[in-house]
Amino acid sequence: MRVRKEEPLNDLPRTRLYVGSPLGPALSVPLTPTQTHHLNIVLRKNAGDAIRLFNGQDGEWLARLDRIGRSGATATVDRRLRPQTPAPDLCLLATPLKRGRMEWLVEKATELGVAEIQLILTMNTDAPRPKVDKLAIHAVEAAQQCERLDVPVLHPPAELARVLAGWPKARPLAVAAERAPSSGVPPENLAEVARRHPGGPAGLLVGPEGGLTVSELDDLRDLPFVALVGLGPRILRAETAALAALACWQCLAGDGSVSPPLRSVSTTGAC
Amino acid sequence: MRVRKEEPLNDLPRTRLYVGSPLGPALSVPLTPTQTHHLNIVLRKNAGDAIRLFNGQDGEWLARLDRIGRSGATATVDRRLRPQTPAPDLCLLATPLKRGRMEWLVEKATELGVAEIQLILTMNTDAPRPKVDKLAIHAVEAAQQCERLDVPVLHPPAELARVLAGWPKARPLAVAAERAPSSGVPPENLAEVARRHPGGPAGLLVGPEGGLTVSELDDLRDLPFVALVGLGPRILRAETAALAALACWQCLAGDGSVSPPLRSVSTTGAC
């Protein structure tokens, strides 16, 4: 009953690719050189093999490779497997992190269903500014793997004050705070804040290694859309805090009660 | 206002080490060769410099290095900074993962306050068995960094059935399930299950890449202490599922409402 990577899933191909082309019956979709290489060399796919495609707009489709070789690959779209459904409108504000941790954060945030990642620059931010187009590769790979129907949007680093100035006033922003601002009012439990905003658009802000400064926390505290939240007694690394906040928000105010699609009840095989 | 690694935190030294010796006033504590090297070469500490020590039993103590050099280092304990306080009794059951992901899981689970990690072998487990003593190094480092007062216990891999046979009947075990068992009853939202067990001992089980088989899920479902839980519509990697489940459980039934110690209100510096 051991499942190898390329065994079908409920009779569907496991290979799932994000493409930039429109998807619809009988449409021809060109694949990128990277996708072609992966299908050809790593997965040893041949013309006629089935794959799944999504583009963030038209849902997920079954398709068949009609040409694959060193010169490129194209697939022809067959039938729709899933319509595009709205995902939680959840934006993560996080600072650049050291190499390795930054890519890990993008991968995990994508799996946890973040809609956008806005990189922010704060007083204690001192990691180098990452290249957003390179990070986007990790987001695409994670989106393909975790079966979501879109890829999160990554925004290049911007000053925190500028991001906050453009923040929609009606959109709650939960800010992870390791201690109280100078007012002394302690941060709330994240669960309490999430419960006040079920299903709606929201943002989560996590500071850098070294934390947000008290003056930054004070400024944030004064904004009507901000709630300072605690994440327990331990000092979490920035990427751990982001992941914990995202997981809790999705569980309580996002799509934590929705089951994975294409995983129907079955009496055999793995789940 | 930029905080460098070795600046004091509320006038306390940032360097914090886990030791195997008893801690009490005026006691002498030998440090390991690895600790000595780190203090001597990386942090450039000298005799007389202050550090913090904890041992999982006696709380956290201020100490001073009284000898440091190539031949070793010892510290003399000064005064207690924090008493030992009980932490949530939360056990993670997870399968061995590929190198890299396994170490990440141990680091992040430690930060999120896991008390024990029991490695389990399931039908789809196919990663090599990790060396628990090597993984423990990551747990110690994460515990030192995140300011917890203990280090989680890591148990070497054991067959799932054997672990379940020894599981205390009164201890709830939430099992992450990507789909329903053959009964067709869908998994519950993790938040619902966590809310039923505030503050008590608990366990979280996450399957391998490839998932738990339906027969494993069916067997789990029949156990009186098990609740199958969903983690949303996306297919999470094993380590992501484990961290998401831990973060949610701590937020809802663990110590998510407790603030970090030694981080009192201050009008300057970072938090």
Look at residue A181 and tell me if it is in a domain.
Answer: yes
**Residues of chain B contacting A232 with CB distance shorter than 8 Å:** 112-113, 250-251, 254-258, 260
Q: Provide the residue range defining the domain that includes B55.
A: 16-82
Asked if residue B112 and residue B65 are part of one domain, the reply reads no
The CA distances from residue B240 to A78, A156, B9, B116, B139, in Å, are: 33, 25, 31, 18, 17
Asked if residue A248 and residue A133 are part of one domain, the reply reads yes
Nearest CB to B234: which of A243, A251, A260?
Answer: A260
Q: Answer yes or no: are the C-beta atoms of A87 and A148 closer than 8 Å.
A: yes
Look at residue B8 and tell me if it is in a domain.
Answer: no
CA angle at A240 for the pair A239 and A246, rounded to the nearest 5°? 90
Q: What is the mean pLDDT of chain A?
A: 91
Task: Please return the burial class of A74, using the count of CB atoms within 10 Å of its CB with bins 0-12, 13-18 and 19+.
Answer: middle
Q: How many C-beta neighbours within 10 Å does residue B186 have?
A: 15
Asked if residue A171 and residue A73 are part of one domain, the reply reads no
pLDDT in the model for residue A56: 97
A141 near B CB under 8 A:
no
Half-sphere exposure of residue A71, counting CA atoms within 13 Å on the CB side?
1
A51-99: pLDDT as tens digits:
999 999 999 999 999 999 888 999 999 999 999 999 999 999 999 999 8
pLDDT in the model for residue B11: 79
Question: What is the end-to-end Cα distance of chain B in Å, rounded?
Answer: 11
Residue with tokens 């906040």: A245
Closest CA–CA distance from residue B247 to any residue of chain A (Å): 5
pLDDT score of A6 more than 60: no
Residue with tokens 């600790």: B35
The CA distances from residue B199 to A251, B52, B174, B203, B261, in Å, are: 19, 29, 15, 12, 19
Q: What is the dihedral of CA B127, B128, B133, B135, to 10 degrees?
A: -30
pLDDT score of B251 more than 70: yes
Q: How many C-beta neighbours within 10 Å does residue B218 have?
A: 14
Asked if residue B159 and residue B28 are part of one domain, the reply reads no
- We report the CATH number of the domain holding residue B179 as 3.40.1280.10
pLDDT score of B271 more than 60: no
Joined together, the tokens standing for residue A255 give 């799509």
**Residues of chain A contacting B180 with CB distance shorter than 8 Å:** 259, 265
pTM of the model: 0.92
Residue with tokens 């007083």: A123
Asked if residue A231 and residue A111 are part of one domain, the reply reads yes
Of A32, A50, A82, which marks where a domain is finished?
Answer: A82
Q: In terms of pLDDT, which residue wins out, B39 or A10? A: B39
A22 near B CB under 8 A:
no
**Total domains in the fold of chain B:** 2
Residue A30's beta-bridge partner residues? A74
